[in-house]
Amino acid sequence: MVQAQKIHNDGGPLILSYMDKGGKIAVQQVADGFGMSKTQLAETAGLARETLYRPARSRGTRAQNRLREMLEIISRVTDWAGGKEQAMAWYRAQPLPAFGGRTAESLVKDGKAAAVRDYLDHMALGGFA
């Protein structure tokens, strides 16, 4: 991977600031960190609302992977977006010309997070949209 992950204020990658001691993404920390309810976070990540309210499901592979993908993409754009809140706004609302105007959020929901990461790497290397 060419582009380094965004380093959070505490010196580590953004995603690490949302992990618990067991290496799982802590849902409530993510929701709090972005000023969202668990319901809003579930919608943003493309998960059923109930998933993030049930500990066994929120710690499951599907939920963890989707949250990880979302945080990785947000982490990549945080610097040039002007902060993590702005990066979240970009993730949710910015149409991406290379994907027919779809947002990063809609692409991740459709299982296309790798394509978004590749696109961001391409842009970081000076490519065009």
Amino acid at 26: A
Q: Count Cβ atoms below 10 Å from residue 57 Cβ, excluding itself.
A: 15
- The mean of the pLDDT values for the chain is 88
Indicate whether 80 belongs to any domain.
yes
- Tell me what pLDDT residue 124 has: 79
Indicate whether 106 belongs to any domain.
yes
pLDDT band at 43 (very low <50, low <70, confident <90, very high): very high
CB burial string 20-39: b at 16+ within 10 A, e below = eeeebbbbeebbebbeeebe
Indicate whether 8 belongs to any domain.
no
Indicate whether 9 belongs to any domain.
no
The residue segments making up the domain with residue 47 are 14-124
Q: Count Cβ atoms below 10 Å from residue 49 Cβ, excluding itself.
A: 13
Structural domain count of the chain: 1
Per-residue CA distances from 108 to 10, 56, 65, 83, 126 (Å)? 27, 22, 10, 20, 23
- Tell me what pLDDT residue 129 has: 55
Query: Lowest-confidence range among 13-22, 47-56, 82-91?
Result: 13-22
Indicate whether 51 belongs to any domain.
yes
Q: Is there a contact between 87 and 72 (Cβ–Cβ < 8 Å)?
A: no
Query: Lowest-confidence range among 14-18, 27-31, 82-86, 101-105?
Result: 14-18
Indicate whether 129 belongs to any domain.
no
Indicate whether 35 belongs to any domain.
yes
- Tell me what pLDDT residue 9 has: 41
Please determine, for residue 55, whether its predicted confidence score (pLDDT) is greater than 70. yes
Indicate whether 4 belongs to any domain.
no
